[in-house]
Amino acid sequence: MTRINTSFSSGPDGRGHFGLYGGRYLAETLMPLILDVERSYSQAMADSTFAAEMRSLLCHYVGRPTPLSFAARLTAHLGGAKIYLKREDLNHTGAHKINNCIGQCLLARRMGRKRIIAETGAGQHGVATATVCALFGMSCTIYMGSRDIKRQAQNVFRMKLLGADVKPVEAGTKTLKDALNETLRDWLASVESTYYLIGTAAGPHPYPAMVRNFQSVIGHETREQVIAQEGRLPDTLIACIGGGSNAIGLFHPFLDEEGVRLIGVEAAGHGLESGRHAASLLGGHVGVLHGNRTYLLQDFDGQIATAHSIAAGLDYPGVGPEHAWLRDSGRVSYVSINDDEALHAFQLLTRLEGIIPALESSHAIAYIIKLAPTLSKDHVMVVNLSGRGDKDLTTVTAIMRGEES
Amino acid sequence: MSEPFSEVRPHFVAESSRLQHTFAALLAAKKGGIVVYIMAADPDVETSLAILRSLPRMGVDVIELGVPFSDPLADGPILQRASQRALKAGGSLVRTLEIARLFRTENNTTPLILMGYYNPIYVYGPERFAKAAAAVGIDGCIIVDLPPEEADEVREFLKPRGIDFIVLATPTTDSARVPFLLEKSSGFIYYVSVTGTTGTISATQQAITQAIIRLRHQTERPIAVGFGIMTPEQVAAGASVADAVVVGSAVIQRIADCLDTNGRPRPGLVEDVLSFIKELAIAAHTSRKALSLRRCP
The residues near A276 (Cβ < 8 Å, ≥ 6 apart) are A269, A270, A308
CATH number of B92's domain:
3.20.20.70
Q: Do B76 and A185 touch (CB under 8 A)?
A: yes
| Residue B225, beta-bridge partner list | B191, B245
Give the pLDDT of residue B290: 66
Closest chain B residue to A285, measured at CA? B123
Encode pLDDT of A129-158 as tens digits.
Answer: 999 999 999 999 999 999 889 878 889 999
Q: Please indicate whether residue A97 is annotated as part of the active site.
A: yes
Kindly indicate whether the ipTM for this predicted assembly is greater than 0.90, answering yes or no: yes
Please say whether the beta carbons of A120 and A126 come within 8 A: yes
Of A322, A296, A328, A330, nearest in space to A12 by CA: A322
Please say whether the beta carbons of B91 and B99 come within 8 A: no
| In-domain check, residue B13 | no
pLDDT, averaged per 10 consecutive residues of chain B (297 residues), comes to 59 68 94 97 98 98 98 95 97 98 97 98 98 98 97 97 97 95 97 92 92 94 95 96 97 97 95 98 88 53
Beta-carbon pairs below 8 A across chains A and B: 115
Q: Do A303 and B87 touch (CB under 8 A)?
A: yes
Kindly write down the DSSP assignment for every residue of A243-279, as one continuous string: S-HHHHHHHGGGTT-TT-EEEEEEEEET-GGGT----
Q: Which of A25, A36, A117 to mutate to test the interface with B (most CBs of B within 10 A)?
A: A25
| In-domain check, residue B255 | yes
| In-domain check, residue B59 | yes
Q: Which residue of the set B42, B61, B64, B98 is catalytic?
A: B64
| In-domain check, residue B67 | yes
Range of the domain at B101: 18-285
Instruction: From residue B203, give the alpha-carbon distance in Å to each of A209, A218, B192, B195, B234.
Output: 36, 47, 10, 9, 10
Q: State how many domains chain B has.
A: 1
Give the pLDDT of residue A394: 86
Q: Do B73 and A192 touch (CB under 8 A)?
A: no
Of all helices (H) and strands (E), which one includes residue A115? strand A115-120
Of A118, A303, A202, A170, nearest in space to B71 by CA: A303
| In-domain check, residue B293 | no
Lay out the sheet containing B244-247: strands in order across.
B164-165, B140-143, B112-116, B62-66, B33-39, B244-247, B223-226, B189-192, B168-169
Closest chain B residue to A170, measured at CA? B77
Q: Nearest Cβ partner of A298 from B123, B170, B173?
A: B123
Question: What is the rounded average pLDDT for all residues in chain A?
Answer: 95
Helical pair A97-110 and A48-57, crossing angle rounded to 10 deg = 140
Q: Do A288 and B119 touch (CB under 8 A)?
A: yes
Q: Nearest Cβ partner of A32 from B69, B123, B174?
A: B174
> Using alpha carbons only, how large is chain A's radius of gyration in Å?
20
Give the pLDDT of residue A1: 40
Handedness of CA B144, B150, B152, B153 (dihedral sign): negative
Q: Give the burial class of B282: count Cβ atoms within 10 A of its Cβ; 0-12 exposed, 13-18 middle, 19 or more buried.
A: middle
Q: Please indicate whether residue A119 is annotated as part of the active site.
A: yes
The one-letter amino acid at A251: F
| In-domain check, residue B6 | no
C-alpha of A17 from chain center: 19
Please say whether the beta carbons of B22 and B33 come within 8 A: yes
Give the pLDDT of residue B13: 44
The yes-or-no verdict on residue A22 having pLDDT over 60 is yes
| In-domain check, residue B3 | no
| In-domain check, residue B294 | no
The yes-or-no verdict on residue A205 having pLDDT over 80 is yes
∠B58-B289-B108 over CA atoms, to 5°? 35
Give the pLDDT of residue A3: 45
Q: Which of B67, B69, B70 to mutate to test the interface with A (most CBs of A within 10 A)?
A: B70
